[in-house]
Amino acid sequence: MDRPSSSVRDQVLRPLEESGLARFHWKTWLTAGMGFFTDAYDLFIIGVVTTLLTPLWHLTTLDLMLLNSTALFAAVVGALVFGRLMDRLGRKTIYGIEAILLTGGAILSALAPNVWLLILFRFIVGVGIGGDYPMSGIIMSEYSNRKRRGFLVNAVFAMQGFGLLIGPAVAALLLASGVPDATIWRLMLGFGAIPAAVVIWLRRSIAETPHFMLGARGDATGAAQVVEHLTAAKPAAAPNEIKPLPGSARVLFTNGRFLLTLVGTAFSWMFLDMAFYGNSVSSSLVMKALSPTGTLLQHTVTSMLIFLVAALPGYWISALTIDRLGRKFIQIMGFAAMAIAYGILWLVPNIAANTGEFLLVYAISYFFIEFGPNSTTFVFPSEVFPVTVRGLGFGISASAGKFGAAVAAFLFPVLLIQLHLSGTMGLLAGISAAGALLTALALRESKGLTLREASQEALLETPAWGDGAATRVGS
């Protein structure tokens, strides 16, 4: 009598889930993480670029809004397209294409002769950025072990912290170098092609993940061979092939548990990015509103110092504690701390007039963004959806986040004018509070679980999915 498919999958994957941290984990982390370094650099640097271009190209407020937000709107498209393609065609088939878009888009942006072509080339960069989210997060998750999966996935995303630091550092060095502004902005944009180009070959050489081979292809023998190669532990004997899991998009929308999870991951990411990217992309505008007489170099150095002392430590503290404290606890705590920090900046009279006090609270908000939902909203969707729709679930979640980011980046310049700095911070406080509440209601903890347990794949192995009665499962 044949063993149930669920038992076969668990036995084949057990050596991978129970392995210690090994060389292949670190190689996958570096390959995936360099994309997030590039993503963060590209998204930050445009704020400085538009400041330089405003007098050179006589940019209007609409031009600024479009340049600041185009890559983010394009990331919505990239996350959805790449997320679904990786479920349909495989992780290995697609991985690396988004890095090619990042490289080509950065080079073209640096050569743009006018604002409209720059907007077009930034759209290409944005599609690559969006595609990188589900691709890198899921590949790292599917290669991770049970005990340190949160750390490994979070560490991939933490490379964003170095991008946020290097972005203003490069900008500050160029601004202080005496190079003409007309050259500086092109160098800033072109630099983003270098790290993206470095990982193209590495990404194309990554093997297909055993989770995908088992769940989407039913290739038990191939998955066992990959697991044995990676861990040097031979999985239990398994049949050559097993029945693949259902891969229709209806899996996410006709099952109550998966749908609630999708609402939780998508909208918490949207709330986070509305607060985070409005600040990050428009940080030069925030600094200018705080210190109107300061130079662009002074504002850029101030942003860099905030990233160095607050944001970067937050990323790595999150990575080092997420498998002990849990994803849900860190996300709720981070949203709550953000709400308090933004609330102080909103409600305390004249705090914006005291630069030191404002920057202290502003830095604290950055720390808890990173040691909080900016990390966990990336980790959650890499774990909590079944393997055959994991890319789609992650893609929808990331696209919701990037849509919120794009709206924030698009409207932030206007909000600063209409609501002033304090009113804008009050709006961000409300958004952060909503994120904490949603997380508490919609998401379940996944620390310490195998990836199959965290994603509740067993629901897809019940007879109801075989006879088309999807709505009966988990209802």
Burial class of residue 430 (count of CB atoms within 10 Å of its CB; 0-12, 13-18, 19+): middle
Distance between CA atoms of 170 and 176, rounded to whole angstroms?
A: 10
Of 215, 214, 217, nearest in space to 226 by CA: 214
DSSP per-residue letters across 411-422? HHHHHHHHTHHH
Contact of 427 with 271, CB cutoff 8 Å:
no
Of 365, 367, 364, nearest in space to 338 by CA: 365
- Which ranges constitute the DSSP H helices of 282-389? 283-290, 296-306, 312-325, 327-347, 355-370, 373-379
The pLDDT value given to residue 304: 76
Distance between CA atoms of 251 and 385, rounded to whole angstroms?
A: 10
DSSP letter at 199 equals T
> Residue 111's Cα: distance from chain center in Å?
27
Please list the ranges in the chain whose pLDDT falls under 50: 1-3, 281-282, 466-475
Of 129, 133, 131, nearest in space to 153 by CA: 133
**3-class DSSP assignment, residue 357:** helix
Contact of 209 with 139, CB cutoff 8 Å:
yes
Contact of 269 with 39, CB cutoff 8 Å:
no
Amino acid letter at 103?
Answer: T
* CATH code, domain with 444: 1.20.1250.20
The pLDDT value given to residue 285: 53
Distance between CA atoms of 135 and 295, rounded to whole angstroms?
A: 39
Distance between CA atoms of 461 and 244, rounded to whole angstroms?
A: 9
Distance between CA atoms of 1 and 475, rounded to whole angstroms?
A: 31
pLDDT digits (tens, 9 = 90+) for 86-145: 999 999 999 989 999 999 999 999 999 999 999 999 999 999 999 999 999 999 999 999
Distance between CA atoms of 391 and 399, rounded to whole angstroms?
A: 12
Distance between CA atoms of 254 and 260, rounded to whole angstroms?
A: 10
Domain count, the chain: 1
Distance between CA atoms of 372 and 449, rounded to whole angstroms?
A: 20
> Residue 151's Cα: distance from chain center in Å?
15
pTM of the predicted model over 0.75: yes
Amino acid letter at 78?
Answer: G
DSSP per-residue letters across 46-67? HHHHHHHHHHHHT--HHHHHHH
Buried b (16+ CB within 10 A) or exposed e, 43-67: bbbbbbbbbbbeeebebeeebbbbb
- Total residue length of the chain: 475
First-to-last alpha carbon distance for the chain, in angstroms, is: 31
| Domain ranges, residue 320 | 5-472
pLDDT digits (tens, 9 = 90+) for 372-384: 999 999 999 999 9
